[in-house]
Amino acid sequence: MGLLKLPLVVLVCSVFSLLSFIALCDTSELTVKFLETPHAFSNLSSTKFVFEVLVGGSGACINSNITCKLDDGFGRINASQCENGTVLCEGLHDGNHKFEVCPNGTQGVGCSSYYWTVDTVPPTANISASTPFTNALNVSINMSFSEPCTGGGGFACSSVNACNLLVHGAGKVIPNSLKILQPNLQYSVLVGLSSTAQYGRVILVMDMNFCTDSAGNKFKETKILLSLCISIDEVSTSLLTFPKGNFN
Ligand SMILES: *[C@@H]1O[C@H](CO)[C@@H](O)[C@H](O)[C@H]1NC(C)=O
Ligand SMILES: *[C@@H]1O[C@H](CO)[C@@H](O)[C@H](O)[C@H]1NC(C)=O
Ligand SMILES: *[C@@H]1O[C@H](CO)[C@@H](O)[C@H](O)[C@H]1NC(C)=O
Ligand SMILES: *[C@@H]1O[C@H](CO)[C@@H](O)[C@H](O)[C@H]1NC(C)=O
Ligand SMILES: *[C@@H]1O[C@H](CO)[C@@H](O)[C@H](O)[C@H]1NC(C)=O
Ligand SMILES: *[C@@H]1O[C@H](CO)[C@@H](O)[C@H](O)[C@H]1NC(C)=O
Ligand SMILES: *[C@@H]1O[C@H](CO)[C@@H](O)[C@H](O)[C@H]1NC(C)=O
Ligand SMILES: *[C@@H]1O[C@H](CO)[C@@H](O)[C@H](O)[C@H]1NC(C)=O
């Protein structure tokens, strides 16, 4: 009999502790604590959530029945990953997303949500020149960004040698003519053409990697360039533009 007592005591104890654990999980308020989430604006189409379910604000409660939802059920979630508190979301399309964790206690299902935006598209810009122009020696250039590209300082043109609009050939940017037409989206600047060049070519191209969008996508060097063929004589001035053309 003496030999049987110990296992019995252990058994009673474990049943008791199991019951009290369940009771603790079920009677207290359950909260979800996110330990790992994507950035609010993310350039990743795959992301990981790590969370734990807490009882009354402290102590992990592994025993509750947890369900996870991606995009109100329209996204697929691996249920066993959800129960383990580490969920991988893959193949996320660009746009707004919502991840929900719903632990089921006796007081009902209380969900905690995390909202974020996926943006995998790098910012781009177009360059255009004013045609016709009134001043033969100054050409007005417009730059339009597809989205705000402010990470890293954004577009700047503080001097001829520190300008994100690169001018090659018979011309120079006039930095103090920089105008903001639409904050972070549209700018204009004058490019002064060489007054000595009778014939010449000016090639305008955006610098690369100088800014990022809110999701961290880098402005890439693109085929964005403008080739101006200038032909200046006493009576006529003409400007030909070849947007995105190959200047070689
Ligand atoms: C959790 O709840 C769901 C929905 O009621 C049920 O289908 C599932 O069996 C439950 N899982 C556990 C481990 O209790
Ligand atoms: C769910 O995730 C687990 C662990 O990562 C994995 O072993 C299992 O194959 C996954 N199930 C599905 C249906 O993808
Ligand atoms: C859940 O976690 C347990 C313990 O850490 C592990 O043994 C099990 O493989 C995990 N399951 C999944 C689906 O990740
Ligand atoms: C929550 O748990 C209760 C009891 O186990 C169950 O009846 C109910 O269906 C669950 N609700 C959800 C949404 O899983
Ligand atoms: C530049 O943008 C302004 C404002 O949208 C517009 O009035 C002007 O004509 C544009 N110039 C060129 C060269 O596209
Ligand atoms: C070109 O523009 C600059 C800056 O606005 C101005 O100082 C200069 O006089 C202009 N050049 C001509 C030839 O109009
Ligand atoms: C650049 O120009 C193309 C063709 O005209 C247009 O489809 C695109 O929206 C423009 N992008 C920006 C950032 O203005
Ligand atoms: C995505 O954003 C991170 C910063 O959040 C950056 O380091 C990384 O280079 C970006 N990836 C791409 C492809 O732009």
Model pTM greater than 0.75? no
Nearest ligand to residue 132 Cα: 5
Nearest ligand to residue 173 Cα: 6
Neighbouring residues of 18: CB distance < 8 A, sequence distance ≥ 6: none
Residues 116, 182: Cα–Cα separation, whole Å: 26
User: Which residue has its alpha carbon closest to ligand 1 atom 7?
Assistant: 65
Comparing 65 with 120, the larger pLDDT belongs to 120
User: Which residue has its alpha carbon closest to ligand 5 atom 9?
Assistant: 130
Give the residue among 102, 99, 45 at the shortest CA–CA distance from 71: 99
The top-scoring range by mean pLDDT among 53-57, 60-64, 92-96, 198-202 is: 92-96
CA of 135 to the centre of ligand 2 (A): 67
202 has which bridge partners? Answer: 169, 228
The CATH topology of domain 27-118 is: Immunoglobulin-like (2.60.40)
- Among 66-75, 90-99, 115-124, 218-227, the minimum mean pLDDT is found in 218-227
Provide the CA 85 distance to its chain's centre, in angstroms.
Answer: 25
pLDDT above 70 as % of the chain: 67
Residues 164, 152: Cα–Cα separation, whole Å: 12
Q: Quick check: CB of 188 below 6 Å from ligand 6? A: no
pLDDT-derived band at 60, boundaries 50, 70, 90: low
Question: Does residue 73 register a pLDDT over 60?
Answer: yes
Domain with CATH 2.60.40.10 in the chain: 27-118
Q: Quick check: CB of 166 below 6 Å from ligand 4? A: no
Ligand 7, residues at Cβ distance < 6 Å: 124-126, 144-146
For residue range 167-221, list pLDDT tens digits in order: 888 889 999 999 999 999 999 999 888 766 666 677 888 888 899 999 999 998 6
- Stretch (H or E) spanning 21: helix 2-27
Kindly report the CATH class assigned to 125-241: mainly beta
